Chain A
Amino acid sequence: MKKLIVIALLCLGIGRATVGLAQDDATNMEVGVEIPRLNVSEYHRPYVAVWIQDGNRKVVANLAVWYQMKDSSEGAGTKWLPDLRQWWRRSGRSLDLPVDGVSSATRPAGKHKLSLASDDQRLTKLKPGNYELIVEAAREVGGRELVEIPFTWPTDKSVTHKSKGESELGEVTLTLSP
């Protein structure tokens, strides 16, 4: 009898562990980026890059880069991408742009959301550990700002981290949910 209970308990334990693992694999990510409305005489939409880096500041996932993708007399807006200077150094300069699912057009002032489903390759490749979400913005004839949100991956309960920029970025949020 005792033996049976132990086996049952063991089974339960294993069951729990596997359920736990399944949940870990199934963490969704939602990033909120607010571009503030600025009262300036000459306004251009900012270039914005969103990425995840590890403890060694190595980029482990590029979530988005918003820039002028239309052709102009100076070519597509890739000329000004190095103004996102951290992103450019850590990742941008070795990418072949545009990157599918990462590159997109600049956005107007307001709140923007990036949703990554748990089966997104960029998330399935993330090993458990501590990371930072980085949002960097640079604006023509404006300024440049970088906002960081440290987080632990994965999560077994819903959690929302928040940070706020002071000039070129408004509220930045990171929501992880199983």
Chain B
Amino acid sequence: MSRLLLSAFVLALLIPVTSEAHKVWLRPSQTVLSGAEPWVTVDAAVSNDLFYFNHFPLRLDGLVITAPDGSSVEAENQSVGKYRSVFDLALKQRGTYRIAVVNHGVFASWEENGERRRWRGNAQSIANEVPAGAKNLSVTESLGRVETFVTNGAPSTESIQPTGKGVELVPLTHPNDLYAGEESKFQFLVNGKPAANMQIELLRGETRYRNSQDALTITTDSKGEFSVRWPEPGMYWLETSTEDSQTEIPQAQSRRLSYAATLEVLPQ
């Protein structure tokens, strides 16, 4: 019982840490393209300010690009710099590409010789690096998806079918068909099921050129759906997260699920 209480306490300590996480994002050079083989280049970073790389690059280990026909394609010219990562993508097919960085990780904390130890890694390394019988061990699994969409020619939907894992966005309005002043509809799924009452934060980029964040806060309805009327054109960052206990890593007690997307809204 005291252990349960303690892990609940540790978790409570963790929540403010994770809620103060920096923003994780991908930023494509453009989202609407045309031609035989147009290229996009994508920046990937972690920062407070959108979309400025001034904190950490986003590692590209979990980069997954799905082509319009549903196949996986590789990014070219991948590079991790001081403040951002970069990669290029040739859009050889016509239709919509889903560009995502999916991270499946573990966070553990425990006591050793009276000191608090913290560790971050993945499912493969936890058995070797975290002592199994550690005192007051708390293990949290995390599944995060950061993504964006780009389209060559007419928008298509084969590549944006949900995988059924973690938090996913179902674009009822196509994500490359967003225009200022229009209303767009989306749905959130958690593990493939509609997720009601998800708190969503929506922020427009170029935060450096204004005095306030101007964040929009939206909640999904009973069907997991929500709609947005875009106040102005720009690159928007959409974020939400939740928790469950459907862990895949045996040592983990809970699982944190997060989602962030970059959506471009064009002027009329």
List A residues at the B interface (Cβ < 8 Å).
Answer: 41-42, 74, 140-145, 167
Contacts and interface: CB of A to CB of B under 8 A. Distances in A.
Given A141-B213, A167-B212, 15 more contacts: A41-B19, A42-B19, A42-B20, A74-B55, A140-B48, A141-B48, A142-B212, A142-B213, A143-B211, A143-B212, A143-B213, A144-B211, A144-B212, A145-B211, A167-B211
Interface of B: 19-20, 48, 55, 211-213
A161 B79 CA distance: 55
Nearest to B54: A79
Contacts of A140: 48
B241 to A, nearest CB: 11
A145 B212 CA distance: 9
Contacts of A144: 211-212
17 contacts: A41-B19, A42-B19, A42-B20, A74-B55, A140-B48, A141-B48, A141-B213, A142-B212, A142-B213, A143-B211, A143-B212, A143-B213, A144-B211, A144-B212, A145-B211, A167-B211, A167-B212
A42 B213 CA distance: 13
Contacts of A145: 211
Contacts, number: 17
A106 to B, nearest CB: 16
Nearest to B217: A41
A59 B240 CA distance: 44
A14 to B, nearest CB: 53
Nearest to A146: B211
A56 B6 CA distance: 60
A129 B140 CA distance: 63
Contacts of A142: 212-213
A87 to B, nearest CB: 14
Contacts of B20: 42
Nearest to A74: B55
A142 B212 CA distance: 6
Contacts of A74: 55
A145 B55 CA distance: 23
Contacts of B212: 142-144, 167
Contacts of B48: 140-141
B55 to A, nearest CB: 8
A42 B211 CA distance: 17
A145 B213 CA distance: 12
A74 B211 CA distance: 24
* Nearest 3 interchain pairs by C-beta: A143-B212, A144-B211, A42-B20
A164 to B, nearest CB: 16
A113 B4 CA distance: 46
B62 to A, nearest CB: 23
Contacts of B19: 41-42
Among A74, A141, A142, A167, the one with the most B-chain Cβ atoms within 10 Å of its Cβ is A141
A142 B48 CA distance: 10
A150 B124 CA distance: 64
B239 to A, nearest CB: 12
Contacts of B213: 141-143
